[in-house]
């Protein structure tokens, strides 16, 4: 089948979602001048608290509506070291009424963003209510020994703590497509376990925001968007960047996406590995749901625990594989010394050779006038043409591909034996190489909806809509091998260096 079009790179990934100049209506946003603590921008719904039009609120000091001690605390924070996502408890005072708010402040160079929402614990678990559950959660996570166990424990416990109708764990692949690897849902939600969703469902600029913000909450997709006043930030003369804000408005296409999934509320929590986005925990609810601030902080904390556990297991697996491969590489180089011959050292031993080192199906080694073959390989005439192609590329470092025919069209003739290739140049100028082949692995991708229908453009081409069906759609992938791991490439490069040094010694001895 032909390649799926990459809407993530071509279209969806270029939308400026961090400059949506509105917020969701479950809270309020104030933008403060750091020098004066005057309000320079405000969400228009603040009039429901103050009784004043937005134009009457801007350019007024924050102390006009907030407790004196709270304002002094904000001033200290602005002049302090912490700059982002600082939680606050605030007392709003106006017309003789006092209201308690949960706040979150983000401090920029010239201004600060202050998010506030009414404190509410009614009908929901507080931190103390779930503390015992959290302890059990962490204990279960620590006892999980495989990635599958970690993910199953995580989504099961998160659903129990949060009350969402469904919780799913998505893992991103190298192309940022997300596959559901664990799922805990109620009967009202459709199962997506094992299905893959295209990268454009969480486009690159949205993924970047998860590095700044640990979660994304949309408690009600039918919310009424609240605009900022004035539209332009008077200090920067530009739209304000709402990347850090929990309240940041939602692109209409994503709200339509939620509607097509038949969910009213969603919350996505990041899973990081080595500072990079590894996956997402996606929570959905059929009806609107408003997790309180305590619950969100619990999710934020647990996402760190999950990330750490996922990283620990994957790092251990990679370490074990790396140690085993390094041991084989050392044994191979010792064998080359014993034989005093590169080709014999890499190929002669039936149990330990270049094939077992790189989990390859076949190998060809050409050094000078000698050419040796092992395992399942293309026809010798095809190998000759491949080597001419490699010479033309002037390869000096290790070269690898798990989809050779996408780079070299003639390789389509031998995809069964050589869909994947690993090339260690011995002397590229003389056409001397160690070449390992990997066979084709035919696989099926279970897409959540037709990936060719990810977006549907209006006739004018200006607006687009998400796909309206998530029905299972199968794609069969041909001509690709198991990918070469980073560690395999590192070992291959170290072997290339060894071969160079060994040949140099042979020439001068």
List the domain boundaries for the chain.
7-16+120-223+249-315, 19-118, 340-442+478-508
Question: What secondary structure letter does DSSP report for 220?
Answer: -
Task: In whole angstroms, give the CA distance from residue 199 to residue 84.
Answer: 28
Task: In whole angstroms, give the CA distance from residue 227 to residue 25.
Answer: 10
Cis, bond preceding 16 (omega within 30 deg of 0): no
- Going by C-alpha positions, the residue among 347, 350, 423, 356 that lies closest to residue 383 is 423
- The pTM (predicted TM-score) of the whole model is 0.85
> What are the residues facing 363 on neighbouring strands?
374, 436
Same fold, 19-118 and 340-442+478-508: yes
The confidence score (pLDDT) of residue 13 equals 46
Q: Is 55 exposed, middle or buried (0-12, 13-18, 19+ CB in 10 A)?
A: exposed
The confidence score (pLDDT) of residue 449 equals 77
- Going by C-alpha positions, the residue among 182, 160, 62 that lies closest to residue 112 is 62
Helix, strand, coil fractions of the chain, as percent rounded to 5? 40, 25, 35
The confidence score (pLDDT) of residue 129 equals 66
Written as tens digits, the pLDDT of the chain (509 aa) is 445 555 554 444 455 555 688 999 999 999 999 999 999 999 999 999 999 999 999 999 999 999 999 999 999 999 988 788 899 999 998 777 889 999 999 999 999 999 999 987 655 655 666 677 788 888 888 888 999 999 999 999 889 888 899 999 999 999 999 999 999 998 789 999 999 999 989 988 899 999 988 999 999 999 999 999 999 999 999 999 998 899 999 988 899 999 999 999 999 999 999 999 999 999 999 999 999 888 888 888 889 999 999 999 999 999 999 999 999 999 999 999 999 999 999 999 888 999 999 999 999 999 989 999 999 999 999 999 999 999 998 888 999 999 999 999 999 999 999 999 999 999 877 889 999 999 999 998 888 877 776 666 556 555 656 766 777 888 889 999 999 999 999 999 999 999 999 988 877 76
For domain 340-442+478-508, the CATH superfamily is PHY domain (3.30.450.270)
Over the Cα atoms of the chain, what is R_g?
29
CATH placement of domain 19-118 = 3.30.450.20
Sign of the CA dihedral with 31 first, then 33, 39, and 44 last: negative
CATH placement of domain 7-16+120-223+249-315 = 3.30.450.40
Question: What secondary structure letter does DSSP report for 365?
Answer: E
The DSSP H or E segment spanning 426 is: strand 420-427
């Amino acid at each position: 089948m032909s390649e799926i079009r990459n809407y993530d790179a071509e279209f969806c990934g270029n939308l400026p979602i961090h400059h949506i100049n509105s917020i969701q209506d479950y809270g309020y946003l104030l933008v403060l001048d750091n020098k004066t603590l005057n309000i320079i921008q405000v969400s228009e719904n603040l009039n429901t608290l103050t009784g004043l039009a937005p134009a009457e609120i801007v350019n007024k000091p924050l102390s006009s509506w907030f407790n004196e001690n709270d304002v002094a605390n904000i001033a200290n924070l602005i002049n302090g070291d912490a700059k982002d996502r600082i939680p606050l408890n605030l007392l709003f005072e106006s017309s003789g009424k006092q209201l308690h708010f949960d706040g979150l402040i983000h401090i920029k160079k010239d201004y600060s963003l202050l998010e506030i929402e009414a404190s509410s614990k009614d009908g929901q678990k507080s931190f103390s209510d779930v503390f015992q559950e959290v302890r059990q959660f962490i204990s279960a996570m620590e006892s999980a020994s495989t990635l599958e166990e970690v993910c199953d424990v995580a989504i099961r416990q998160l659903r129990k703590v949060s009350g969402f109708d469904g919780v799913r764990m998505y893992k991103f692949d190298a192309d940022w497509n997300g596959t559901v690897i664990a799922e805990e849902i109620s009967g009202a939600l459709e199962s997506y376990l094992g299905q893959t969703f295209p990268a454009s469902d969480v486009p690159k600029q949205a993924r970047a925001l998860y590095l700044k913000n640990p979660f994304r909450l949309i408690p009600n997709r039918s919310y009424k968007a609240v605009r900022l006043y004035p539209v332009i930030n008077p200090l920067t003369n530009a739209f304000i960047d709402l990347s850090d804000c929990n309240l940041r408005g939602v692109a209409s296409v994503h709200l339509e996406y939620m509607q097509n999934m038949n969910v009213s509320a969603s919350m996505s929590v990041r899973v990081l590995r080595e500072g990079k986005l590894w996956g997402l925990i996606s929570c959905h609810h059929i009806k609107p749901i408003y997790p309180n601030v305590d619950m969100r902080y619990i999710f934020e904390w647990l996402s760190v625990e999950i990330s750490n556990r996922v990283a620990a297991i994957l790092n251990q697996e990679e370490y074990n594989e790396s140690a085993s491969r390094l041991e084989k590489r050392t044994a191979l180089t010792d064998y080359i010394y014993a034989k005093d011959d590169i080709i014999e050292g890499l190929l002669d031993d039936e149990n330990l050779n270049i094939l077992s080192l790189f989990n390859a199906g076949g190998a060809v080694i050409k050094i000078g006038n000698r050419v040796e073959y092992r395992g399942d390989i293309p026809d010798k005439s095809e190998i000759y043409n491949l080597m001419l192609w490699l010479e033309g590329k002037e390869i000096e470092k290790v070269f690898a591909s798990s989809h050779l025919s996408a780079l070299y069209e003639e390789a389509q003739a031998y995809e069964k034996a050589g869909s994947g290739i690993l090339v260690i140049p011995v002397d590229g100028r003389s056409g001397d190489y160690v070449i390992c082949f990997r066979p084709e692995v035919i696989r099926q991708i279970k897409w959540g909806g037709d990936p060719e229908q990810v977006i549907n453009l209006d006739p004018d081409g200006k607006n687009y809509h998400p796909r309206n069906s998530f029905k299972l759609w199968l794609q069969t992938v041909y001509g690709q091998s198991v990918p070469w791991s980073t560690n395999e490439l590192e070992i291959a490069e170290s072997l290339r260096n060894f071969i160079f040094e060994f040949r140099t010694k042979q020439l001068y001895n």
